Amino acid sequence: MENKVEEIKKVQVATEAAMSAVISYLVSEDFPTSERAHEIIDQVLSKYDCESPEGHIVASGHQSFAPHQTGSGPIATGVPTVIDIFPQSKITGYWADMSRTICLGTADAKLQKMYDCVLGAQELAIAMLGPGVVAGDVHDAVQRHFVSNGYLTSGVGSEFTYLEGLVHSTGHGLGKDIHQAPRIGFGSQEVLKVGDVVTIEPGLYYQNIGGIRIEDLLVITESGCENLTKFSRQFSYNK
């Protein structure tokens, strides 16, 4: 089990290197695009013997409203840009997974409040992790957090259960499959155990704002969990 975690950590290092490179590009370039951002991610991952067989996400503005929208075109300022990188090692077959949402320039008060709420939900969920915890209870706590802060979930989506709000699970297991047990979502009765590697990725999505998702990778330990993600959760980046 220790070997599994160590191998996943190596892929996580590659993930964070790619995230750092793409954010640096978005901040420094006068007219950044999703297309060039995707190229940079692949270039960095290849240096670590990793690849992205299922792609990656750099979706800005209204494109970020759709959680699986890969993103295309210019990256605007003052709007959320979701960056989701989930590579696989070419050598071991293990995966890693990380999302960050950034805003180039200054976020307005409404957008900043939404980001802070998602960040609070992630911190709440991470604090709950440990052996013996029912996965569905973590998701339920995230949902209550959003509702208590005025972020409701509504509508019927085509790909996800709901159209707006908390439209996907809080997290999932990861190893030699990008999505595996345990599922940290509504109604899940799976129990977390020592050695599970899971994502915690709460998100909110509204058509008139876009989407915000923050995702870390954690391993369940005897005393709770260890966060394998070291990357900053900074939101606003000045151009």
Q: State pLDDT tens for residues 43-94.
A: 999 999 999 999 999 999 999 999 999 999 999 999 999 999 999 999 999 9
**C-beta atoms surrounding 83 within 10 Å:** 26
Q: Would the pTM of this model clear 0.95, i.e. be above it?
A: yes
* pLDDT value of residue 110: 97
* pLDDT value of residue 104: 98
| pLDDT tens digits, 186-225 | 999 999 999 999 999 999 999 999 999 999 999 999 999 9
* pLDDT value of residue 161: 84
Task: Please check whether residue 34 is in contact with residue 58, taking contact to mean a CB–CB distance below 8 angstroms.
Answer: yes
Task: Please check whether residue 205 is in contact with residue 164, taking contact to mean a CB–CB distance below 8 angstroms.
Answer: yes
| pLDDT tens digits, 104-118 | 999 999 999 999 999
Q: 1 pLDDT exceeds 70?
A: no
The range of the structural domain enclosing residue 119 comes to 2-237
Among residues 142, 84, 86, 119, the alpha carbon closest in space to that of 236 is found at: 119
Q: 12 pLDDT exceeds 90?
A: yes
Q: How confident is the model at residue 2 (pLDDT cuts 50, 70, 90)?
A: low
| pLDDT tens digits, 108-161 | 999 999 999 999 999 999 999 999 999 999 999 999 999 999 999 999 887 888
The angle at the Cα of 173, spanning 60 to 6, to the nearest 5 degrees, equals: 100
**Separation in Å, CA 220 to CA 126, 161, 177, 224:** 10, 28, 17, 6
Mean pLDDT over each residue of the chain, to the nearest integer: 97
Residue type, 178: I
- The CATH number of the domain holding residue 191 is 3.90.230.10
What's the total number of domains in the chain? 1
